[in-house]
Every structure is written in structure tokens, then in C-alpha cells.
Structure 1
Amino acid sequence: MPGIDDSRSFIPLNIAVMTVSDTRTLETDTSGDVLEARLTAAGHRLAARTIVSDDIQMIRNQLLAWIASDEIDIVISTGGTGLTGRDVTPEAFKSVYEKEIDGFSAVFHAVSFAKIGTSTIQSRATAGVAHGKYIFALPGSPGACKDGWDEILVHQLDNRFRPCNFVEILPRLPER
């Protein structure tokens, strides 16, 4: 049965949050607020937070800056994963992936389907590994951020979670 192994000490991670939006500000960024509140409540550190326009090169540049930083372990974005012409977050993320984490999207859609039914097909949530860091792209709604964090990331970003988690292999991601 999956769960937390209390015999292990928690390892806090440095997590950066990027909101992709042409209209949100830090004052109106409820999805970024959800992620910040949840990651800090879980014991992690908010390493950085920003809002980036729905522009593939701007998203890519922010990703590249953050994954190059020794101060950041994980990047989580919210927004820009839909189907409209301005929704380019998955394309930006995939342009920097070394490996895509296909299971993240599959599990996200399973969780989302239980809550919003077939409307989940309008999301292109994605995750991958780039430069020894995990990067996750969630949809822009606060509900999707809650689902992505509460049902997937809170577990996989906790080294105590069994039978396995992302944190255990984080130091090995850069191996060649």
C-alpha cells in the first residue's frame, strides 16, 4: 500500500512557480497562490515565482534560467496548457525536455476525469526532466492546480513516499 514512511526524514525541495498568462498579475494569480500555499505547507521552499506571457520563447527562456540555477530543484507552471492559439506551454516545455514523464499526464487525466469528466481532454498537462530538474506544467485553473498537487506532486515530491518517489532519483537525473 502506498504511503509515507515516517522512519525517514523529510527533504525539503526548492520549487519555482511560473504562471503563464497574458492577463494575470501577482495580485490576481489564484492558481500560483494555490501552488505556493500547498508547496510551503508541505515543507518545501518557494525558490522563485513569476508570471510569464503566453509566448513560447519567453516560457522557454524562464525554464532555461531556472533549470540552470543551483537554487532550484523543481519547476511547476500553471496555465497555457489548453487548446487555443495562445496555449503554448507544452511546446515550450517539450523543447527543453531530455525525457518526458508520460505517466504524469496519464495520472493527471485520471484524477481530473474523476472530477470533471471528459472535459479533461482539453488539458495538455505535461512533465519531464531537463538538466537534472523535474519540470511540471499544470492547467491554469486553481482546481487543476489543487488536483495536480494534492493527488500527484505532494506524494512524488516527498522522499518518504513509498514505494518510490521522484526525490530519491533526483541526484541521479544528470547521469550520462
Structure 2
Amino acid sequence: MSVNQHKREAPDSVGCMVVTVSDTRTEETDRSGQLMIGKLKENGHRITEYKIIKDDYTAVQEAVMEADARVDTAAVLINGGTGIALRDTTFEAAEAILDKTIPGFGELFRYLSYEKDIGPAAMLSRATAGVRGSTAVFSTPGSSGAVRLAMEELIIPELGHVVREIRKDR
């Protein structure tokens, strides 16, 4: 079956949980979380929950597991906590509980970041994606530029297709 046929069979609307990982942001100052929500809604997807959590290993894992336990949620989109500072634990927390990883997401994100305007500093990004149970997990850096790039170039174009692939045999 071709990629185009897969995409034709993909859901047009996906229930998504949006999670911002930050010790300082509030709903009023969370431009990246709001950008994710806006891009999802513009493209016909549903927001099942939006939350801001502390940059904490356990809190990140709990958010992913909560999303996977929800019947109305097929994807969780996380922004923030993906850097290399000691406090940044989103990558480790998410990767530790994924059943499958989607290495191409991080690879393409870093490539596009490098090409667009970040240059060699793109190698510091630890954007990642994968599957937890029957839920797609996307984790991006917390900057608005990074979120815009990930949403427009990678997540939105493939979200329905990813969910179809995860759920087709269930």
C-alpha cells in the first residue's frame, strides 16, 4: 500500500493533549503551547487537554501515561525540556516509557533546523517522537520557532497517518 493510500485512510481529526514543560510559563505566557493548539485546531484536530507541568522527569512520564490512558486522545504533543542542561529531562522521561521510537522525527527536525536558521547548534536539540501504547508522542523544544517548524513541517502533515499506523491493527 502506498503512502498516499495510507494517508487517504488516516483520520482527518485526531484528539490531542498538549503539554508544555516549564518551570516559569503560565497559560498567559505560554506562546509555544498556544501555537501548538492553534496549529492543531487550524487543521481540524481536537484538543482533549492542555496543561503546563514542571520540568520534572516523573511529571513528564505521568502526562504521557495519562494521554495513553484516555480514549479521546490519540497523540500527546510536548514542548520544552529537550535541551542539554541538567534540568532538561523531557527526553529521558519520554524515551524511557516509549514502546517504539520514531527516530526520523528527531533526525528530520534537526536537519530542518540546521537548514532554516539554527546552523550547527541544531545538534543540541533532543526532539523525539514515538509510541506509548496506542498513543503517538511528539516532543519538541519549547521555543516558538522550534514548535512552528515541527508543527508545520513534520507533525501536522503526518499526524493522521501516524495515528492510522499505530491503531490499524488494534
| TM-score (norm. length: structure 2) | 0.91
Question: Contact between 2:131 and 2:166, CA under 8 Å: does it hold in 1?
Answer: no
Question: Contact between 2:17 and 2:50, CA under 8 Å: does it hold in 1?
Answer: yes
1:97 equivalent to 2:93? Answer no
Give, in angstroms, the shift of residue 7 of structure 1.
Answer: 7.2
| TM-score (norm. length: structure 1) | 0.88
What SS does structure 2 have at the residue aligned with 1:95? helix
1:52 equivalent to 2:48? Answer no
Distance 1:86 1:167, change over 3 A: same
Q: 2:139 aligns with which of 137, 140, 143?
A: 137
What SS does structure 2 have at the residue aligned with 1:136? strand
**Aligned equivalent of 2:151:** 149
1:6-28 alpha-carbon deviations (Å, 9 max, x no partner): 97786200011000000000110
Distance 1:142 1:171, change over 3 A: same
Unaligned runs of 5+ in 1: 159-164
Distance 1:172 1:113, change over 3 A: same
- Which protein has the bigger helix share? 2
1:168 equivalent to 2:164? Answer yes
Equivalent runs, 1:92-131 vs 2, <5 Å: 92-115=93-116, 116-131=118-133
Equivalent runs, 1:66-77 vs 2, <5 Å: 66-77=67-78
Distance 1:91 1:8, change over 3 A: closer
**Aligned equivalent of 1:162:** none
Question: Contact between 1:133 and 1:173, CA under 8 Å: does it hold in 2?
Answer: no
Question: Contact between 1:132 and 1:173, CA under 8 Å: does it hold in 2?
Answer: no
| Count of equivalent residues | 167
Give, in angstroms, the shift of residue 66 of structure 1.
Answer: 1.4
CA distance in 1, matches of 2:22, 2:7: 39
Distance 1:79 1:173, change over 3 A: farther
Give, in angstroms, the shift of residue 168 of structure 1.
Answer: 2.7
RMSD: 2.1
Unaligned runs of 5+ in 2: none
